[in-house]
Amino acid sequence: MSSDIKKYHFVGIGGIGMCGLAEYLLLNGQIVTGSDMNPSENTTRLEKLGAQIKFGHSRENIGDCDVLVYSSAVSPDNPERMIAAERRIPTLRRAELLGQIFATKSSRIAISGTHGKTTTTAMVGQVMTFAGKEPLIFNGGLLKISGSSLQIGNGNMVIAEADEFDRSFLELSPTQAIITTIETEHLDCYQNLADIKDAFYKFTAKIPDNGQVIACTDEKEIPEFLRKINRPFTTYGLNNGEFQASNIQLSQNSSSFVVYHEKESLGSVQLNVPGRHNIKNALAAVALAFLFDIPFHTVQKALAAFQGVKRRFDIIYESQALMLIDDYAHHPSEITATLTAARKGWQRRIVAVFQPHLYSRTRHFYKEFAQSLQIADVIVILDIYAARETPSEGTSARLIFDAIKKTRNLDVYFTATKDDALKLLKEIKRNGDMIITLGAGDVNKILPKLME
């Protein structure tokens, strides 16, 4: 990062990947302005720290900034990007700015994978914090403990969620990298699974010879992937790997298990987040801690104290009569993991309220969505949250609805809007239900109204 830059303007400053970078700059004495379509929890926090934020996008918003920062979701015809180009103001993708900050530390840990990045980043950050490493952390979700995606640390370690979308993670130069999963995803910017794997090969090639890849060999694509990389690697998993979990006990919002390294017991771990997928995430943190010679008792304390991340099996309300949960799951594998955790942990009727995210993702995965949602007892499907995409003819959430109806005679409903979904839920809910909102859009806005 250049010390000459004093004023940054963020287009889409409230986005989860953008707000942490803006907060970092503010806390380091930089002037930050920004714009977004609507106020949010993130913009409110940044304004309290001194950011000047305008709502709506306009050429006038950028003022006299030295650099304009934008995310991959902001198109080239955005008026603020256009005026910056006309005035020859330097611009940076969000990933480029993260890469510049990332490069300032000697230990650079990147958490990658098509699923599980956010929670794993948070767990790794917690372990390294308990170990006294004072890490700088950039997460892709809001930590429950702080309400921010950023944790400032003065040590020589940075931990960052490494997003494969738009090949953003290729801007990072990690010394260690975790790969949680490699699956077909983001087909709006990748051609197919082979294209995604090629990006992961390029990502791991950036790791130095004395670095390390840590990967989950339970995942179908990982073993072959590791055989083709020319880097040292460590493996973990529930069924395979150098680090494994045994004696797994799942109970509501918690789990316990014994960690084995090369068939030798290290000890037990207690987690206060549900599901077998979170045990895998914890094993990744254990394996990384082992590389840094962190005592296992420190890892145990850190993971036992882990409170989770907002919108990741986030329990909004719980009573005997009703349980409300919000989850960011927006890929079939993530929905399967979330609903399985609910099914294994509680004896409640599960009502899944799913809002598909992106037309392209719905078009490519509607059959897989239909399959994963059937873990629930009742399914409510909203129409697609378009996000960065424009409507696509012939693609709607009814594809998922119809696919479920063809395979099983489940209680499944289609509602076009959140208001319609809210009315329906009030009609169909029973005493003791668990209602789970699923999706990367704004489906979670239903929950406060249900609580009323």
Which amino acid is located at 111 in the chain?
I
Residues recognised as catalytic: 117-118, 161
Which residues have CB under 8 Å from 86's CB, separation 6+? none
Spell out the alpha helix ranges (H) of 234-347: 276-291, 296-304, 332-345
Buried b (16+ CB within 10 A) or exposed e, 327-354: bbbbbbbbbbbbbbbbbebbebbbbbbb
Structure tokens at 290: 């082992």
Helix H or strand E segment including 80: helix 79-86
Which of 179, 184, 202 is CA-nearest to residue 194?
184
The C-alpha atoms of residue 84 and residue 69 are separated, in whole angstroms, by 10
- Per DSSP (E only), the strands in 77-125 are 91-93, 107-112
Sheet holding 322-327, edge to edge: 314-318, 322-327, 433-438, 350-354, 378-382, 411-415
